[in-house]
Amino acid sequence: DAKTTQPTSMDCAEGRAANLPCNHSTISGNEYVYWYRQIHSQGPQYIIHGLKNNETNEMASLIITEDRKSSTLILPHATLRDTAVYYCIVGNPHQGAQKLVFGQGTRLTINP
């Protein structure tokens, strides 16, 4: 079973920041938070991951709360091409080949 909960859907205006929340209250100390997204009829795409510090890359920023029970993925300037289903997943990469268990994700729609 997925260990995360996310809102089913969200809308955001083009050019604005999209903030996608994720709850992972049962996360263990050595589990990371990963974000992937899936554009319609394609395979999922890696976005970002983190353990406890906030992370930023060319795609997004990841803000993890101090107690690590929740996180927020931020797309700073959303474009129409960011419309996709976003999945928040927790896992421990140091336990060998880990399986990624997908929840239902958040369907993000970017509106012009």
Binding site for other proteins (CB under 8 A): 32, 34, 36, 38, 41-46, 49, 87, 93, 97-105
- Between 3 and 49, whose beta carbon lies closer to other proteins? 49
We find the least distance from the C-beta atom of residue 44 to other proteins, in angstroms, to be 5
Burial class (CB in 10 A: 0-12, 13-18, 19+), 61: middle
Phi–psi pair at 99, nearest 5 degrees: -85, 135
Tokens 């990963």, located at residue: 34
- Between 14 and 107, whose beta carbon lies closer to other proteins? 107
